[in-house]
């Protein structure tokens, strides 16, 4: 009788242990599946980011093409107009630098602080825009 009872208990225990081991392996399988899904999600996100960047670059190129098309679609300009357009930035820069000098030397002490701050801001913006834009262009 004790033999039979021992067999029932040990069989039950081995069944429970087997179930626990099976459950542990199912957790391991689920963890691996989750890890694989996470890696797939990460790859998908990276692909979407690359696609987004490519689309943004494509939109920027299309805008440039449209801008060039607009500029060339108005016909041919005279050499005077082309030269004048090329002089806009340098003239603006030179004018703002001259304005800075004139305002600085003609203003009184009370107005210098306000005038200096605004004119220096405009002058530095103009100069950095002019030279910075040229420095950032691709050399062709």
Other CB atoms within 10 Å distance of the CB of residue 94: 13
Q: Which residue has the tokens 């998908």?
A: 44
pLDDT of residue 13 exceeding 80:
no
Q: What pLDDT, in 10s, does the model give residues 16-35?
A: 666 667 777 777 788 888 99
Domain ranges of the chain: 1-75, 77-140
Q: What pLDDT, in 10s, does the model give residues 61-115?
A: 888 777 766 656 566 778 888 888 889 888 988 998 888 788 778 888 877 777 7
pTM here is: 0.33
């Amino acid at each position: 009788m004790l033999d039979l009872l021992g067999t029932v208990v040990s069989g039950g225990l081995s069944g429970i242990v087997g179930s626990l081991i099976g459950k542990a392996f199912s957790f391991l399988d689920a963890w691996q599946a989750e890890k694989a899904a996470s890696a797939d999600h990460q790859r998908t996100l990276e692909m979407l980011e690359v696609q987004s960047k490519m689309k943004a670059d494509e939109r920027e190129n299309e805008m440039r093409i449209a801008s060039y098309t607009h500029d060339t679609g108005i016909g041919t300009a005279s050499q005077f107009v082309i030269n004048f357009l090329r002089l806009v930035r340098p003239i603006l820069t030179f004018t703002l630098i001259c304005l800075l000098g004139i305002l600085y030397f003609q203003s009184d002490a009370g107005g210098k602080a306000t005038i200096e701050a605004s004119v220096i801001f405009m002058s530095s913006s103009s100069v950095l825009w002019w030279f910075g834009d040229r420095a950032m262009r691709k050399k062709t």
